[in-house]
Amino acid sequence: MKVAVFSTKSYDKEYLDKANENGKHELVYFESSLKPKTARLAENYDAVCVFVNDSITKEVIEQLSLLKIKAIVLRCAGFNNVDIESACNNNIKVLRVPAYSPNAVAEHAVALILTLNRKTHKAYNRVREGNFSIERLTGFELSGKTAGVIGTGKIGTVFASIMKGFGCNVIAFDAFQNKTLIDAGITYLPLEEVIKTADIISLHCPLTPETNHLINKNTLSLMKMGAMLINTSRGKLIDTDAAIESLKEGRLGYLGIDVYEQEEKLFFKDLSEIVILDDKISRLMTFPNVLVTAHQAYFTDNALSQIAQTTIQNLTDLENNSINSQNQVCINVIKQ
Ligand code: NAI
């Protein structure tokens, strides 16, 4: 298949080329993201390959349809950035990588927690400047704390098990209860109870119309004073303005995010020499109790290999007309 690969970074090319043994598929790499202005680049290709911040709107899909693109192949699990209904209406298949090392994301969520609770990011900077004082680096222990997991799918399940290992009391909310977690001593509670009770809340549900701004002024007001909130799922799960207000009040005691509402304009880019115009992220970065990473939770050698292998397999399956139904996103999936 001839594939236009959008939003390419050096590591995408490295891992995709390695997985694309003997040059089976013709992969052409574009640094640009896929958006209305760049969709024309896909002319004369069979498929486009995209990532989390490519914006595959109805307008883009209609352009892809005119270019006779057969498939949109995602190098990620989440598909909230694709207008699935339009893709189906235009007979364009959408494939994704439903599972790739859930440990990568779960462990990153834990890394955010351990950095925030033990202030290792501050200690690192202090020691490098010859400041060996430990004043104001007092942390808190995870053992005995209550960790609340929202969404106990593949990643949430690994996260819950790790937190259990730290000696936390783990509570969870999900419409589908995982028996293995219940057997391991994890208690499912209604969403409001989890939010009210947890010392640490970690979001592991997808972004859907229902979960958009799941964490908002109202839910933030229910949290324990000084609670920690971790988001490695999708930025729009949190209303950033409400989180900033809650941080100012001191109710939100710590915020660790790997995803951000307006990340498309920032993440995966080196903006170190540019004035950042996004005042919300700039404000967030002024708080001493906020830690931001730029969508790197998935970014491990294991995960990159798995993503590349499944992506190449998806292309081969498309070519052979033998699509793995678990990798295909269709209307009935999103209406579940
Ligand atoms: P999954 O599909 O295995 O699990 C999602 C779980 O969320 C399911 O159990 C589902 O029932 C539950 N859920 C759906 N709506 C919910 C709601 N309203 N409240 C509570 N739970 C709800 O997905 P997986 O693989 O665990 O991934 C979770 C999310 O992590 C993805 O949707 C994606 O947004 C994010 N992600 C982030 C990455 C990163 O690098 N930061 C990388 C990979 C995924």
In the chain (336 residues long), the average pLDDT of successive 10-residue segments reads: 97 98 95 96 98 95 98 95 96 95 97 98 98 98 98 98 98 97 98 98 97 98 98 98 98 98 93 96 97 97 97 97 93 50
Are residues 241 and 194 part of one domain? yes
Q: Which pLDDT does position 46 carry in this prediction?
A: 98
* CA angle 143–231–290, rounded 5-degree value: 80
Of ligand 1's listed atoms, the one at least distance from the Cα of 175 is 11
Residue-wise pLDDT for 181-231, tens only, equals 999 999 999 999 999 999 999 999 999 999 999 999 999 999 999 999 999
Annotated catalytic, 295?
A: yes
Write b or e for each residue in 175-207: b if 16 or more Cβ atoms lie within 10 A of its Cβ, otherwise e. eeebeebeeeebebeebeebbebbbbbbbbbbb
78 lines ligand 1 (CB under 6 A): yes
Do residues 61 and 112 both lie within one domain?
no
Number of neighbouring beta carbons within 10 Å of residue 302:
12
Count of domains observed in the chain: 2
Between helix 154-165 and helix 102-118 the angle, nearest 10°, is 40
Domain range enclosing 24:
2-100+301-335
CA–centroid distance, residue 206 to ligand 1 (Å): 4
Is the domain of 129 the same as that of 215?
A: yes
Do 119 and 12 lie in one domain? The reply is no
**Beta-carbon-side half-sphere exposure of residue 284 (alpha carbons within 13 Å):** 25
Q: Please give the distance, rounded to the nearest whole angstrom, from the Cα atom of residue 77 to the centre of ligand 1.
A: 9
Single out the residue of 333, 285, 250 nearest to residue 80, CA to CA. Answer: 333
14 and 159 both lie in a single domain:
no
Task: Take atom 27 of ligand 1 and give the residue whose Cα is closest.
Answer: 155
For the stretch 227-242, pLDDT in tens is 999 999 999 999 999 9
Atom of ligand 1 nearest to the CA of 99: 25
The CATH code of the domain that includes 26 is 3.40.50.720
Note the pLDDT of residue 331: 63
* Binding site membership of 234 for ligand 1 (Cβ less than 6 Å): yes
Residue nearest to atom 37 of ligand 1 (CA): 233
One domain, residues 77 and 146: no
Q: What is the pLDDT of residue 332?
A: 56
The structure's pTM equals: 0.93
Distance, CA 253 to ligand 1 centroid (Å)? Answer: 24
Check 141, 234, 249, 261 and give the catalytic one.
234
Question: Ligand 1 within 6 A of 211 CB?
Answer: yes
- Told to judge if 283 belongs to the known catalytic residues of this protein, a careful annotator would answer no
Q: 310: CA distance to ligand 1 center in Å?
A: 19
Active-site entry in 25, 75, 108, 263: 263
Q: Is residue 192 domain-shared with residue 271, that is, in the same domain?
A: yes
- Give the Å distance between the CA of 161 and the centre of ligand 1: 16
Q: Is the CB of 96 under 6 A from ligand 1?
A: no
**AA letter at 122:** K
For residue 298, the ligand 1 atom closest to its alpha carbon is 40
Residue 261's alpha-carbon distances to 102, 130, 207, 249, 318, in angstroms, are 22, 37, 11, 21, 33
Could you tell me the distance, in angstroms and rounded to a whole number, from the CA of residue 234 to the centre of ligand 1? 9
Same domain, 256 and 308: no
Same domain, 165 and 264: yes
Contacts for 205 with CB less than 8 Å, ≥ 6 apart: 150, 151, 153, 156, 174, 211, 214, 233, 237
State whether 61 and 106 are in the same domain.
no
Domain shared by 192 and 310, yes or no: no
Residue 91 is predicted with a pLDDT of 95
Q: Is the CB of 298 under 6 A from ligand 1?
A: yes
* DSSP for residue 145: P
234 in the same domain as 162 = yes
pLDDT at 330: 81
Q: Contact 34/272 with Cβ under 8 angstroms?
A: no
pLDDT of residue 121: 96
Which amino acid, one-letter code, is at 32?
Answer: S
Measured by CA distance, the residue closest to atom 21 of ligand 1 is 151
- Ligand 1 contact via 108 beta carbon (within 6 Å): no
Residue nearest to atom 34 of ligand 1 (CA): 233
pLDDT for res 113: 98
